[in-house]
């Protein structure tokens, strides 16, 4: 079985009753499972399937192979996998003794739709049970998210999640650094729900969204008579007592108010505006900045003493452009989410759209990707695939945002956090008429870039396709497909 363990595709072997007798390393990675948990168990026991829809059980029943069977399936742990199955019956002396199934996951499938020879219709399989969104934390504490809601397997993202999990168990303050749309609020709520304070209130405030003359009263509370119309009202520090307070975009807060925040945090006492009485509190403070904190200090938008108090643990959340390996997982997640929200059954995206997704820089990060998919699914039919024409009313691809001077290589600080200009963060909404010739030229440009990259990699590797694939960050199968697509002969690069 050592040969199968080296396959890039997932491999599952069952006996004639559908009991799993072998999974290779790729399949355990796709399903995020331990082989010891599934070996010897029937596929219908472990995977959320029924015998009418399971590719393996269908092969056993009919005795015939299934070619390029496209589907979503769910593991017992709730993980959703978008994949292509090729299942073959195994015979000994004309007696069926089992099956072998080769599985390609979404990260490869999304770029190879056109290689399938008339695959069966791609659809969202519920496998006999209704699909339901993951159970959310108890919203009575003011949250919606937990760590299980963070989609991705990128190494840097997983490192950030692990740091956040560890920081959740400590009373120390945490600072989240990440661009707009990377999920800082999601991390903050997850930290609260993983802490011992999870049964207490979570309170968040966007410091950039509140006028300066109101922010102090909102944070510290007000006392009757402090100013005309003032009432006795608790502030967010009091309201979050015993729980967690998120200060979002704290670098947007006026420096004078930052000094007052610093004193309140140090003393663990707050005084309402217009009052002489101090109120003690016990809260965990999570703050966030949308730029490198050290650059914010240099630009005099963040007090260094406040940073040292709030940034006891500093967690960098990588932007979407730095985690391209998670793009397919996020696409599948948002397809599921809006299939439920919109009552649709859209389960595929055209390969040319995925090519554009993969080349786009996503200045709005995960939030922008979600917006694009939601908008497209409002236009596409109840079933089918998202195509270029469905992006016409939200055509973010008509113009790539030009790099802002604020995100030059010299401006990247110790945490590697970029800060695009506000103009670069906006999604453009051009007229609904879309120039088809522009779409063709964009796809052609992407193809030219791919051809040039493949040729350079083959040239550097002396025609060694496996080495070239590693340089390009592709699997050998995907590189081979692209070489056939562009009619590139590796032998021409042999020396």
Q: What is the pLDDT of residues 136-155, one digit of tens each?
A: 555 688 888 999 899 999 99
Q: Residue 405 pLDDT more than 60? A: no
pLDDT of residue 82: 66
Give the three-state DSSP class for 18: coil
Q: Taking all residues of the chain, what is their mean pLDDT, rounded to a whole number?
A: 77
How do strand 80-92 and strand 95-105 relate by DSSP bridges? antiparallel
Tens of pLDDT, residue by residue over 199-245, are 999 999 998 888 877 888 889 988 876 666 667 888 899 999 999 99
First to last CA, the chain: 35
- Cα separation, 70 vs 368, whole angstroms: 27
Residue 422 has pLDDT above 80, yes or no: no
| CA-wise closest residue to 96 among 109, 87, 105 | 87
pLDDT at residue 125, as a whole number: 33
Question: Has this prediction a pTM greater than 0.85?
Answer: no
Q: In order of start, what are the domains of the chain with their CATH numbers?
A: 2-115 (3.30.450.20), 139-316 (3.40.50.300), 327-411 (1.10.8.60), 436-493 (1.10.10)
Query: Could you report the per-residue pLDDT of 434-485, keeping only the tens digit for each?
Result: 444 444 455 667 778 888 888 888 888 888 888 888 888 777 767 877 888 7
The answer to whether 150 touches 190, Cβ cutoff 8 Å, is: yes
pLDDT band for position 78 (cuts 50, 70, 90) = low
**Range with the poorest average pLDDT among 44-58, 90-104, 176-190:** 44-58
In angstroms, the CA 312 to CA 293 distance is: 13
What does the alpha-carbon distance between residue 58 and residue 50 come to, in Å, rounded to a whole number?
A: 10
Are 468 and 450 spatial neighbours (Cβ–Cβ below 8 Å)? no
Instruction: Reduce the DSSP state of residue 76 to 3 states and report it.
Output: coil
Cβ 219 vs Cβ 236: under 8 Å: yes
CB 121, CB 178: distance < 8 Å = no
* Residue 15 confidence (pLDDT) above 80: yes
What whole-number distance in Å separates Cα of residue 423 and Cα of residue 436?
26
Which has the minimum average pLDDT: 152-161, 227-236, 368-377?
A: 227-236
Closest CA to 190 of 174, 178, 206: 174
Mean pLDDT, residues 42-50: 66
What average pLDDT does the segment 365-378 reach? 91
| Burial of residue 329, with CB atoms counted within 10 A of its CB: 0-12 exposed, 13-18 middle, 19 or more buried | buried
User: ∠ CA 375-378-383 to the nearest 5 degrees?
Assistant: 125
Backbone Cα Rg of the chain: 27
């Amino acid at each position: 079985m050592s040969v199968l363990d080296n396959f890039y595709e997932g491999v599952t072997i069952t006996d004639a009753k559908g009991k799993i007798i072998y999974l290779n390393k790729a399949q355990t990675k796709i399903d995020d499972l331990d082989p010891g948990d599934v070996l010897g168990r029937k596929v219908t026991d472990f995977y959320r399937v029924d015998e009418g829809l399971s590719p393996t059980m269908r092969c056993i029943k009919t005795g015939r192979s299934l070619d390029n069977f496209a589907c979503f399936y769910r593991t017992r742990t709730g993980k959703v996998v978008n994949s292509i199955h090729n299942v073959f019956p195994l015979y000994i002396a004309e007696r069926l003794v089992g099956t072998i199934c080769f599985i390609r996951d979404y990260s490869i499938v999304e770029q190879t739709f056109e290689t399938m020879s008339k695959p069966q219709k791609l659809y969202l399989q519920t496998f006999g049970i209704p699909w339901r969104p993951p159970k959310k934390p108890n919203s009575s504490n003011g949250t919606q998210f937990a760590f299980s809601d963070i989609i991705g397997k990128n190494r840097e993202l997983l490192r950030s999640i692990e740091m956040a999990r560890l920081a959740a168990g400590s009373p120390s303050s945490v600072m989240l650094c990440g661009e707009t749309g990377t999920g800082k609020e999601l991390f903050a709520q997850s930290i609260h729900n993983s802490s011992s304070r999870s049964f207490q209130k979570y309170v968040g405030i966007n410091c950039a969204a509140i006028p300066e003359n109101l922010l102090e009263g909102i944070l510290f509370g007000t006392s009757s008579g402090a100013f005309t119309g003032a009432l006795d009202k608790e502030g967010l520090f009091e309201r979050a007592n015993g729980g967690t307070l998120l200060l979002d975009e704290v670098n947007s807060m006026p420096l004078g108010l930052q000094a007052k925040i610093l004193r309140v945090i140090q003393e663990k006492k707050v005084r309402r505006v217009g009052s002489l009485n101090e109120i003690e509190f016990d809260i965990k403070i999570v703050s966030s900045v949308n730029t490198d904190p050290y650059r914010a200090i240099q630009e005099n938008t963040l007090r260094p003493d406040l940073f040292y108090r709030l940034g006891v643990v500093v967690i960098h959340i990588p932007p979407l452009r730095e985690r391209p390996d998670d793009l397919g997982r996020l696409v599948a997640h948002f397809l599921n989410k809006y299939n439920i929200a919109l009552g649709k059954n859209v389960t595929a995206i055209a390969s040319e759209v995925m090519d554009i997704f993969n080349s786009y820089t996503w200045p709005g990060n995960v939030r922008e990707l979600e917006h694009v998919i939601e908008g497209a699914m409002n236009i596409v039919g109840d079933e089918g695939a998202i195509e270029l024409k469905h992006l016409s009313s939200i055509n973010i691809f008509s113009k790539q945002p030009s790099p802002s001077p604020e995100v030059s290589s010299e401006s990247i600080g110790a945490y590697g956090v970029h800060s695009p200009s506000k103009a670069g963060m906006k999604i453009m909404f051009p007229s609904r008429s879309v120039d088809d010739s522009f779409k063709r030229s964009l796809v052609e440009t992407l193809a030219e870039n791919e051809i040039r990259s493949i040729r350079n990699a083959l040239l550097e590797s002396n025609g060694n396709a496996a080495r070239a694939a590693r340089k390009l960050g592709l699997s050998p199968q995907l590189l081979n497909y692209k070489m056939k697509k562009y009619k590139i002969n590796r032998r021409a690069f042999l020396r």
